[in-house]
Structure 1
Amino acid sequence: MTDLTLLGDIGGTNSRFALVVQGRTDYRDERHYENERFPTFQDAIEAYFADVGERPNAGVVAIAGPVAGELVGPTNRQSWLFNPPKLAAALGLARFDVINDFEAVAQALPHLRDGDTTTIGDVAGAAAGGNMAVLGPGTGLGVGALVRDGSRWVAVPSEGGHAEIGAPAGDWAKAHALIRTKVGRVSGEHVLSGSGLQRIYAALGTLAGRPAEHSAAEIGTAAVAGGDAVAVEATHLFFDYLARFSGDVGLMFAAKGGVFLYGGVVQKLSPLMDKAAFRAAFEAKSPLEKFLRQIPTRLITHPTPGLIGCAAVASHW
């Protein structure tokens, strides 16, 4: 019988699969797929098995959505909802665990190497054994944490990305008010996601008398190139939202081990991040500024930490 475990990191737009020998975290045969190519989640997994020519006997997959109820799946892809026991039986898997995607990234945090992250700001170092939190804008906004329970780490899944976010200061408050007229209660995900960047850009463009709509990818490309002043300002407001929300997450989880940022949106826009401004907004949480000054902030640059986290889960079976 094979001793391989299927690993899966399932987002709203793309899925990543790999195989790992049970008990280890160094996975192999990584493949990426566009979700829209497959009618169901099972179809995507079967395509992966066919591509690598192997069938594991167990699996751990992380999904971008809540893991509760009879049916689970990515929040933004309803056609991929599945029943875990039935899918395991259909795939011939003896064990099949399904976890939240940011629970998986949280599980990966102790396994990341120095070259897998970059530091934001000048905080010297994390508290040894301190709680860690991670959040990441992408198709949605994921939030998770890893907390210490005696001698072991416990991952805490979360739907914190749907928590409400406050208005920025100054003229940017007008953009926030415009966004609120469109969505009602403004959650973190409404502004800290690909569609969130589009909302910010549209609001700032309206205020500037140049209303326009572009995709998040187009806005990001224009901002990095520097040729679109509204795109550049949208990026600055995006990072202000992200810094303030990250500070809130740091407080929620008492994350003295660090707050980590992850996701394609942040990675693409990171050259435009003003690290000093980010830290100032992150720490501006009176009366707990001193507490937040001790929390490091880091950007995860490893491309697939969710797969590392899934492998970490399987290694503890």
Structure 2
Amino acid sequence: MTDLTLLGDIGGTNSRFALVNKGRTDYRHERHYENAGFPSFQDAIESYVAEIGERPTAGVVAIAGPVAGDMVGPTNLQRWLFNPPTLAAALRFVRLDVINDFEAVAHALPHLAESDTRTIGEVPAYSAGGNMAVLGPGTGLGVGALVRGGSRWVAVPSEGGHAEIGAPSREAWSRAHEFIRRRIGRVSGEHVLSGPGLQRIDGALNALAGHPAERSAAEIGTAAVAGTDAIALEAVHLFFDYLARFSGDVALMFAAKGGVFLYGGVVQKLSGLMDQAAFRAAFEAKSPLEKFLSQIPTRLITHPTPGLIGCAAVASHW
């Protein structure tokens, strides 16, 4: 169909582009752009093509938002909404596939090298060919999975980040959870496992300590990493407790015997503060399926652009 395919990983703030040849997953000419510099998605693509001097004839792009309806695009960048057939015609593409960003990361999982991930905790044995799941706290909480469909992998997009999450068992943390619940009602995973979620956790802990404070997720993370603020550090520990328990739920939902992968800047920045033994204990504490979960590995994705790998994997099956 085509020999040169455009790959795009489109967030609300930044976009990453690359090119890949037919049947390959090793992409080239990777470039990163700030979305604010372009009035439309097409303008960003045209700028990239002009910079590299090669003209692709097809594309696979992953967007940070749902892929539904006539108009799609990043949830947090409404001026970049586009109609895929119209855009494909304008770019003279014979094919343009648009997928969710975490669907793309799911597609990437079998193609990640050992050095592209870091193991969290110890797992004695696992099913290397089993289903895999990925979740990532960022502006929101993305969830996706890769499951076996006969002899091929099938990516499963998901809005699982909006599933409800229960209160922690530790009393002080449970009070913080109740504080958040009184403020927003039903507490979903995204409400606490995201940048805004870390702010909610920190705000609750500060309010319960008698000195309400509002600060950004970046400020909380910086204070926690520096060890200069006890409540910021406690907020990060509670964040990881939520993440471990929610990851265990995701593992059960998808029977993810091949592993649960964590992705995103929030987790990567704070990973040095994670108590891996406590994470695994909370991940596995799902009676009566503790043994099942004890055999599922948890890994942190350290590769900077797995979405591009996933888009390349989609194009390789055309």
TM-score range, shorter chain: over 0.9
2:236 corresponds to 1:209:
no
Could you tell me which residue of structure 2 aligns to residue 242 of structure 1? Answer: 243
Could you tell me which residue of structure 2 aligns to residue 86 of structure 1? Answer: 86
Contact 1:146 1:153 (8 Å CA) reproduced: yes
Q: For residue 103 of structure 2, give the secondary structure of its aligned residue in structure 1.
A: helix
For structure 2, the residue ranges without an aligned partner over 5 or more in a row are none
Kindly state the Cα deviation for residue 93 of structure 1 after the two structures are TM-superposed. 1.2
Change (3 A) 1:97 1:287: same
Could you tell me which residue of structure 2 aligns to residue 8 of structure 1? Answer: 8
Quote the Cα distance in structure 2 between the aligned partners of 1:29 and 1:22.
15
Quote the Cα distance in structure 2 between the aligned partners of 1:184 and 1:44.
39
Q: RMSD of the alignment, in Å?
A: 1.4
Q: Deviations over 1:272-304 (max 9, x none)?
A: 000000001000111111111110100011111
Contact 1:13 1:139 (8 Å CA) reproduced: no
Kindly state the Cα deviation for residue 251 of structure 1 after the two structures are TM-superposed. 0.1
Could you tell me which residue of structure 2 aligns to residue 112 of structure 1? Answer: 112
Could you tell me which residue of structure 2 aligns to residue 63 of structure 1? Answer: 63
2:98 corresponds to 1:98:
yes
Q: Deviations over 1:96-136 (max 9, x none)?
A: 00011111111111101110111111103430310000000
2:266 corresponds to 1:262:
no
Quote the Cα distance in structure 2 between the aligned partners of 1:227 and 1:306.
35
Contact 1:131 1:253 (8 Å CA) reproduced: yes
Q: Aligned AA for 2:130?
A: G
Quote the Cα distance in structure 1 between the aligned partners of 2:58 and 2:31.
18
Could you tell me which residue of structure 1 aligns to residue 122 of structure 2? Answer: 122
Q: For residue 171 of structure 1, give the secondary structure of its aligned residue in structure 2.
A: helix
Q: Aligned AA for 1:82?
A: F
Q: Which moved more, 1:44-53 or 1:231-240?
A: 44-53
Q: For residue 24 of structure 1, give the secondary structure of its aligned residue in structure 2.
A: coil
Q: Which moved more, 1:69-78 or 1:22-31?
A: 69-78
Quote the Cα distance in structure 2 between the aligned partners of 1:42 and 1:198.
34
Kindly state the Cα deviation for residue 2 of structure 1 after the two structures are TM-superposed. 7.2
Q: What percentage of residue pairs aligned between the two structures are identical?
A: 82
Could you tell me which residue of structure 1 aligns to residue 280 of structure 2? Answer: 279
Quote the Cα distance in structure 2 between the aligned partners of 1:211 and 1:218.
15
Quote the Cα distance in structure 1 between the aligned partners of 2:197 and 2:149.
35
Could you tell me which residue of structure 1 aligns to residue 167 of structure 2? Answer: 167
Q: Aligned AA for 1:267?
A: Q
For structure 1, the residue ranges without an aligned partner over 5 or more in a row are none
Q: Aligned AA for 1:79?
A: R
Quote the Cα distance in structure 2 between the aligned partners of 1:210 and 1:38.
42
2:163 corresponds to 1:158:
no
Kindly state the Cα deviation for residue 232 of structure 1 after the two structures are TM-superposed. 0.5
1:24-63 matches, within 5 Å, as 24-63=24-63
Q: For residue 164 of structure 1, give the secondary structure of its aligned residue in structure 2.
A: coil
Q: Deviations over 1:26-73 (max 9, x none)?
A: 111111122233232222222222222222111001111111111111
Quote the Cα distance in structure 2 between the aligned partners of 1:190 and 1:237.
13
Quote the Cα distance in structure 2 between the aligned partners of 1:23 and 1:124.
36
Change (3 A) 1:296 1:183: same
2:72 corresponds to 1:72:
yes
Quote the Cα distance in structure 1 between the aligned partners of 2:190 and 2:52.
35
Could you tell me which residue of structure 2 aligns to residue 131 of structure 1? Answer: 131
Contact 2:67 2:99 (8 Å CA) reproduced: yes
Q: Which moved more, 1:183-192 or 1:100-109?
A: 183-192
Kindly state the Cα deviation for residue 76 of structure 1 after the two structures are TM-superposed. 2.1
Quote the Cα distance in structure 1 between the aligned partners of 2:15 and 2:270.
22
Quote the Cα distance in structure 1 between the aligned partners of 2:54 and 2:219.
39
Quote the Cα distance in structure 1 between the aligned partners of 2:61 and 2:184.
32
Q: For residue 256 of structure 1, give the secondary structure of its aligned residue in structure 2.
A: coil
2:194 corresponds to 1:197:
no
Quote the Cα distance in structure 1 between the aligned partners of 2:186 and 2:43.
37
Could you tell me which residue of structure 2 aligns to residue 225 of structure 1? Answer: 226
Quote the Cα distance in structure 1 between the aligned partners of 2:176 and 2:33.
36
Kindly state the Cα deviation for residue 77 of structure 1 after the two structures are TM-superposed. 2.0
Kindly state the Cα deviation for residue 247 of structure 1 after the two structures are TM-superposed. 0.2
Quote the Cα distance in structure 2 between the aligned partners of 1:180 and 1:74.
28
